Amino acid sequence: MNDIVSLTNHFLIAMPNLGDPNFFRTVTLICEHNSEGAMGIVINRPIDLSLQDILKQMDIPASETKNLDMPVYLGGPVQSNRGFVLHEPAGNWDSSLKVTDTLAVSTSRDILVAIAENKGPRHFLIALGYAGWGAGQLEQEIAQNAWLNGPATREILFHTPLEARWNAAAGLLGVDLAKLSGETGHA
């Protein structure tokens, strides 16, 4: 197999014509991408749960916690009952995958306990589930014009209002999604 260009720490931006309801108008942070496939977290699909709900479900006291009303996101259709915390700084948690030197995704209880005690990472986003692609699948979908992709920014991850993330991520590439039709073509 040819060497692949890794899209780790890139945004995957759904094209307007992507009809899959799991990914319609989504922005996904690719957390890992190699010859075996890719894994990412959708960062703009809130669900009807908050940080407070997650802590309560896990019996974690939340007396010191700020942002209890912070939304939880549907990170993707795979393992949608499993929690993922996308965070910065990366820190030293029991179960983490480093995306960059400063950004990681963690799945262990210890990070939620630290967040509840107001001792967690400075910036974080909580998601249930993840998006996954098998070997070569993501590359094929990109070649079929299902996705735009470009380098991720912490500004969009942690500071851009969720309803603006799809357009803002495309804007990083100089693309105005409102001007794209649902039709694709090749010259």
CA dist 89 to 54, 60, 124, 126, Å? 21, 22, 9, 15
CA distance 84 to 62: 18
What is the sign of the dihedral through the CA atoms of 152, 153, 155 and 159? positive
Structure token digits, residue 90: 């990366």
pTM of the model: 0.91
- What span, in angstroms and rounded, lies between the C-alpha atoms of 149 and 11? 5
Any idea which residue has 């942690």 for tokens?
A: 158
Q: Which residues have C-beta within 8 Å of that of residue 81, sequence separation ≥ 6?
A: 128, 129
Could you give the CA distance from residue 157 to residue 16 in angstroms, rounded to a whole number? Answer: 21
Over residues 139-164, mean pLDDT: 94
Residue ranges covered by each domain of the chain:
10-179
How many helical (H) and strand (E) elements, i.e. helices and strands, does the chain have? 5, 10
Q: In which residue are the tokens 């590359």 written?
A: 139
Nearest one of 9, 172, 33, 36 to 104, comparing CA atoms = 9
Looking at residue 19, what is its pLDDT? 83
Question: What confidence score (pLDDT) does residue 46 get?
Answer: 96
Indicate the CATH number of 10-179 among 3.40.50.300, 2.40.110.10, 3.40.1740.10, 3.30.1050.10. 3.40.1740.10
Q: Looking at 73-82, 93-102, 145-154, 173-182, which range is the least confident one?
A: 173-182
pLDDT digits (tens, 9 = 90+) for 33-68: 999 999 999 999 999 999 999 999 999 998 766 788
Cα–Cα dist 45/155, whole Å: 17
Stretch 111-120: mean pLDDT, rounded? 92
pLDDT digits (tens, 9 = 90+) for 10-23: 999 999 988 889 99
